[in-house]
Amino acid sequence: MRTLIQNATLISPGIHIEKGAVLLSGDRIEQVFTSDRKLPEADQVVDLEGLRLLPGFIDIHCHGRSNQDFCDGSEEAINRIGRDKLQEGVTGFLATTLTVSKKDLKQTLQCAEKYRMENKDGARLLGIHLEGPFFNPEGAGAQNPDFLKLPDFSLVVELNAICPVRKVSYSPELPGAMEFTRQLVEAGITPSGAHSTADYEQTLKALQAGMKHLTHFCNVMSPLHHLRFGMVGAGLTEKEIYVEIICDGVHLMDPMIKLILQMKGADRVMLITDAIRAAGMPDGNYTLGGLPVIVKNGKAMLAHAERVAGSTLQFFKGIQRVARVSTLPPSEIVKMTAWNQAYSLGLQNFGKIEPGFFADFAVTDQDWNPIQTWVAGTPRWKTK
């Protein structure tokens, strides 16, 4: 079926078209039209009345929402998360695990693979992000220290056979980490530095071995200091490295967000949520990887330690903060919401409004509030 979406403000990386139109053929984009071009006939016509049509957002670091966590290891949990992520304008995500037991990881990935193959009403599951268990105990943060271990590529292979692993976050200073990095790269899996005490030199070594992402940048990693440059210093100055940022006002203060954008530019920054089960829920008591968490005023903290425990951020609200803090135009901001994620992970035909790309869209108002979310050429969520 051919669908024509017209009278839209089209925003894609490097592109801003007023009163544009997009012709869909099934689940793909067939043509893009500027306002001066004659529009073709179609089986279905949708008039957006000037609303923004954006590439669907891709959240590559999300643990859950709606009181569900991927590591609950249940079909109910992943189905609920996948459906409710649509409310954020998210059309694709990586199910992000925690530092839990091997048994729990396998159970989680089995449920994820079932969702990936059968999902017809939620956001796309694009693969798995293993956040741990290969972390330095000194940088465990809110990860459960009982299940930490040294880098073990055989475990990644075992899990990848259940559901595609797209990204692994690990501490590059651990013994065996350089060989682990090279093995991930050879397998087509993105290595990402995280929960780390690695100094500047160790970080550069990991970059040379193939590490190309930094997970929740600035959080639980060696900081920037004028005599000890740290992983944060490397992330700011090494142009090729991609950095994830959580723009919830808790993990990064606004001036830091502004500095990161000025140093890195829109081409190497990826917005994420790092959301836990408390996202989309009221303040109260929750859990993260078996650890008790208290959420107060939207801020999640471990109950028995002064540590932030993920976020309650919804994806579009992070975009709104970036739009307030920066002077970047929308056509640059959208690079950080889908295209950078897809390109850096090797995911083909996601993140742009161009012929041949998947017809996954976030329809928003001028303030980035989601109005509709389209997946595979059909609207899967709308505001009432």
Tell me, rounded to whole angstroms, the distance of Cα 200 from its chain centroid: 25
Distance from C-alpha of 317 to C-alpha of 321, rounded to nearest angstrom: 6
> Catalytic: 152?
no
pLDDT in tens, 237-281: 999 999 999 999 999 999 999 999 999 999 999 999 999 999 999
Share of the chain above pLDDT 70, in %: 100
Distance from C-alpha of 187 to C-alpha of 69, rounded to nearest angstrom: 27
Domain 57-345: assigned CATH number = 3.20.20.140
Share of the chain above pLDDT 90, in %: 95
| DSSP calls for 74-127 | -HHHHHHHHHHGGGGTEEEEEEE--S--HHHHHHHHHHHHHHHHH-SSS-EEEE
Spatial neighbors of 117 by CB under 8 A, at least 6 apart, are none
Spatial neighbors of 132 by CB under 8 A, at least 6 apart, are 97, 98, 99, 143, 147, 148, 169, 170, 195
Which residue out of 59, 84, 248, 274 is catalytically annotated? 274
Spatial neighbors of 285 by CB under 8 A, at least 6 apart, are 292, 293, 294, 295, 303
Report the pLDDT value the prediction gives residue 252, as an integer from 0 to 100: 97
Q: Of 40-44, 292-296, 303-307, where does mean pLDDT reach its minimum?
A: 303-307
Report the pLDDT value the prediction gives residue 115, as an integer from 0 to 100: 98
- Note whether 2-54+352-382 and 57-345 share their fold: no
Residue 236: name the closest of 196, 200, 208 by CA.
200
Specify the CATH number for 2-54+352-382; select among 3.20.20.60, 3.40.50.970, 2.30.40.10, 3.30.420.10: 2.30.40.10
Where in the chain are the domains? 2-54+352-382, 57-345
pTM for this model (two decimals): 0.97
**Stretch 299-313: mean pLDDT, rounded?**
91
Residue 274: name the closest of 258, 288, 254 by CA.
288
Report the pLDDT value the prediction gives residue 144, as an integer from 0 to 100: 86
In the predicted model, is pLDDT for residue 291 greater than 90? no
Q: How confident is the model at residue 142 (pLDDT cuts 50, 70, 90)?
A: confident
**Stretch 330-357: mean pLDDT, rounded?**
98
pLDDT in tens, 101-141: 999 999 999 999 999 999 999 999 999 999 999 999 998 87
pLDDT in tens, 155-180: 999 999 999 999 999 999 999 999 99
Pseudo-torsion of CA 357, 363, 368, 370, nearest 10°?
-120
Report the pLDDT value the prediction gives residue 384, as an integer from 0 to 100: 73
> For residue 194, what are its two tokens?
């995280």
In the predicted model, is pLDDT for residue 18 greater than 90? yes
Report the pLDDT value the prediction gives residue 132, as an integer from 0 to 100: 92
Written as one letter, the residue type at 248 is D
Q: How confident is the model at residue 222 (pLDDT cuts 50, 70, 90)?
A: very high
Per the prediction, the chain carries an average pLDDT of: 97
